[in-house]
Amino acid sequence: MKEIIKLTLALGIVCLVAASVLSFAYYKTIDRQEEAAQEERTRAIRKVLPDYTNKPLKDKVTATHKNTTVTFFRALKNGKLVGVAARGVTDKGYGGRIKLLIGLTPEGNIREIVTTQHQETPGLGTKALERKASKTIGDVLSEEQGNSKKSSLPPNTYLDQYKKYNVADDVGDFKLKKKGGEIDAVSGATITSNAVADAVSKVSRVFAHNRQKIVKGTEK
């Protein structure tokens, strides 16, 4: 009986020490984790917006239309609004939730779209989401020497077709051609293509019905 008590106490002490160490490590690294997440969000925003001089992550407007709420990050250059980046989210992906970042001009033109999170099938659904640059030997050498001047996003035929639209007015839902719309789906990735269309549609509707609020940077 005494041996069982001793063993229980020993295990309890080990668990307590382990928990303390883990808690200490967590609180020591939590700031760094948040800093890394902030840097990742900033990199994504830079991809869909023109040059800016403010901090879009701190200049944001949350807008709602019907049951959809979207956060818009405002980019200013020398005090003038040059674009907004919006979070687009959909749960209609083949692998579940897909998150996009959609860049818009103040006038409502879709500027760029990048994917920030997904669990789609590699080689299929990813064709509708990912942007992969093809580099030449010259590009690699230039990057190594710090001379690369490439700043544009690698192309993605599916995502880039949205750039011809202006959503300042409610253009309705973006639909795939097989559903009577104008959007070309990626072959073999209809579900993913439809999910992206859903996310872009949500952002477009909210922007169209809250444009003045977003442009002015007011929460009312």
Put simply, whether the predicted model's pTM sits higher than 0.85 gets the answer no
| Residue pair 106/80 in contact by the 8 Å Cβ criterion | no
Q: Count Cβ neighbours within 10 Å for each residue of 81-120 and write b for 16 or more, e otherwise.
A: bbbbbbbbbbeebbeeebbbbbbbbbebebbbbbbbebeb
Burial bucket for residue 193 (CB in 10 Å: 0-12, 13-18, 19+): buried
Distance CA 178, CA 190 (A): 10
Q: Count Cβ neighbours within 10 Å for each residue of 28-51 and write b for 16 or more, e otherwise.
A: eeeeeeeeeeeeebeebbbbbbee
Burial bucket for residue 75 (CB in 10 Å: 0-12, 13-18, 19+): buried
Task: Look at residues 123, 133, 122, 119 and name the one whose alpha carbon lies nearest to residue 90.
Answer: 119
Weakly modelled stretches of the chain, pLDDT under 70: 1-8, 10-12, 14-38, 134-151, 219-220
Distances (CA, A) of 112 to 136, 140, 158, 159: 24, 25, 12, 8
Give the pLDDT of residue 41. 84
